[in-house]
Amino acid sequence: MEHALPGAFVGLDVGGTYLKAALLDAQGALVEKRRYPIRKDSAASILAQFAEAVRDLAGAEPVRTVRAIGIGLPGIVDRAARVRVAPNVPVLNGLAVGEEVRARTGVAAFAENDANVAALAEAYRGAGRGADNVLVVTLGTGVGGGVVLKRRLWTGTGGYAGEIGHIQVDQAGVRCGCGSWGCLETLVGVPSWERRGRAALEAGRSSTLATLAKLEPKTVVAEAEKGDALALELVEESARALAVGIAAALQLLNVERVVVAGGVSNAGPILLDRVREHVQKRCFPQVFADASICVAELGSDAGVIGAGTLALLEAGPGA
């Protein structure tokens, strides 16, 4: 099959469960997307799968139709697009994924951390559209981030910039997976809702949360909206922690748009309204006035769209 799309881009979003792939046209608009169960038993098999996904979308000879490939990877990716560590897909450790995909497809390929490419997607195609300087904060099990300055991803000296989830927001906080303590992630990440809620219940607080099997942002927010005092405290604590992190980033970067993405961001306005209030208290009035804080638009498509956008930015627009 020959896909009639000269100058197209392919985005690959590598996750612990699925490989997602998308075809973007020469201007970077989404044309088609697909999803495959990830084959992560060996480096050879996952790299072969990447090349197959490109051919599946772009035809047997991708070099004739695809201008560049972008890849979002679930781990720490260095400046040379080599994976330092990918906890959920360890076969990627040490691989220079961009080079490997180029060798298998004949097409220029670029790789980045998945939170960074998702940030690019929101900046170019989502809630950051029209803004030159955008901070994206992704709230999930972990808390990730990406910084887009003057329309380009800011990855820092070694490629590790944007880790807002590991800004310390509580000097007396609990240990974080990164080795530090009191990181934003320890007060906003999904597991923290269970940890903080259970601790309060075990300490004897009475709350409707005691009737829930699992304490997640969504369920806790629902109880907070019904007026449960403990649930409200948990929401307030997360909102304040998130605001401390965002305010620090705003004072440093003076961006015009903060996009909050990930599952927790859909918890409802109760969280973001509080975040805005607390950010305002912690920023210069001018810095706060320059920035709007909004919810992401692209959902789970941000990864593939961002990977394709990375390819477009690295290789330049297609024909």
* Beta bridge pairs of residue 118: none
Looking at the Cβ atoms of 180 and 292, the one nearer to Zn ion is 180
Question: What three-state secondary structure class fits 218?
Answer: helix
Closest by CA position to 142, among listed 179, 188, 182, 83? 188
Full DSSP string of 6-30: TTEEEEEEE-SSEEEEEEE-TTS-E
Does 178 contact Zn ion by CB under 5 A? yes
Q: Which region, judged by CB under 5 A, interacts with Zn ion, from 60-68, 116-124, 163-171, 282-290? A: 163-171
Residue 52: burial class (beta carbons within 10 Å; 0-12, 13-18, 19+): middle
**Cβ-based nearer residue to Zn ion, 3 or 166:** 166
Yes or no: say if 235 and 224 are a contact pair by the CB < 8 Å rule.
yes
Residue 104: count of CB within 10 angstroms of its CB: 17
Nearest distance, CB of residue 163 and Zn ion, angstroms: 8
Binding region for Zn ion (CB under 5 A) out of 16-24, 103-111, 182-190, 252-260:
182-190
What is the smallest separation between the CB atom of 175 and Zn ion, expressed in angstroms?
9
Q: Tell whether residue 166 is a contact of Zn ion (CB under 5 A).
A: yes
Residue 183 touches Zn ion, criterion: CB under 5 A = yes
Can you spell out the DSSP letters for 95-127? -BHHHHHHHHHSS-EEEEEHHHHHHHHHHHHST
Closest CA to 87 of 73, 100, 97: 73
Least Cβ distance, residue 182 to Zn ion (angstroms): 8
Stretch that binds Zn ion, among 12-20, 78-86, 164-172, 262-270 (CB under 5 A): 164-172
Q: Closest separation between CB of residue 287 and Zn ion, Å? A: 25
What's the closest the beta carbon of residue 143 comes to Zn ion, in angstroms? 9
3-state secondary structure of 61: coil
The single residue among 23, 51, 176, 250 that binds Zn ion, judged by CB under 5 A, is 176
Residue 185 or 301 having the CB closest to Zn ion: 185
CB of 57 to Zn ion, least distance (A): 36
What does the binding site for Zn ion look like in residue numbers (CB under 5 A)?
Answer: 166, 176, 178, 180, 183
